Amino acid sequence: MNQASINANNSVVHLDDDDFETLVIQSEKPVLVDFWAEWCQPCHMIAPTVEALAEEFGDRIRVAKVDVDANPMATHKYGIRGIPALLLFKDGQVVEQMVGVRPKAEIARIIDSNL
């Protein structure tokens, strides 16, 4: 398994196909996964929102990013066809899926309703 890398503020975990099972499916707390790509402008637009949510929810949830170009297995398994795609996992299952840029308040409400 590869080591998941964590950004400077230690809030968002960058996953790859090898880490996905352990850090998302087997997680004891809900996980918000941002499927994104470097070339995707909307992905860059939502990135600060994703980081802010990671800080806001602290250790109540895990927030992760998956680069769709580098991780085809997870991308294919969850049927990601449009990005950014935010999937909220709880007990190893997808409980919410949002595609496109969404307001922070909307995403926070969805996370809160699943805590």
pLDDT of residue 59: 87
pLDDT of residue 1: 39
Extents of the domains making up the chain: 5-113
Which residue has 């950004």 as its token pair? 7
- Closest C-alpha to 29, from 66, 63, 62: 62
pLDDT of residue 8: 39
How far apart CA 71 and CA 51 sit, in angstroms, is 21
Kindly list the strands in the beta sheet with 5-6, ordered across the sheet, starting from the edge strand earlier in the chain: 5-6, 12-15, 62-67, 31-36, 85-90, 93-99
pLDDT tens for each residue of 38-93: 999 999 999 999 999 999 998 899 999 999 999 999 999 999 999 999 999 999 99
Pick the CATH number of 5-113 from 3.50.50.60, 3.10.129.10, 3.40.30.10, 3.40.50.450: 3.40.30.10
Q: Which one is catalytic: 15, 24, 43, 66?
A: 43
Give mean pLDDT, residues 105-115.
96
Stated pTM of the model:
0.90
Q: Which one is catalytic: 32, 40, 54, 64?
A: 40
Is 43 labeled as catalytic in the residue annotation? yes
Is 74 labeled as catalytic in the residue annotation? no
Q: Considering the chain, what is the average pLDDT of its residues?
A: 91
Token digits of residue 82: 């449009």
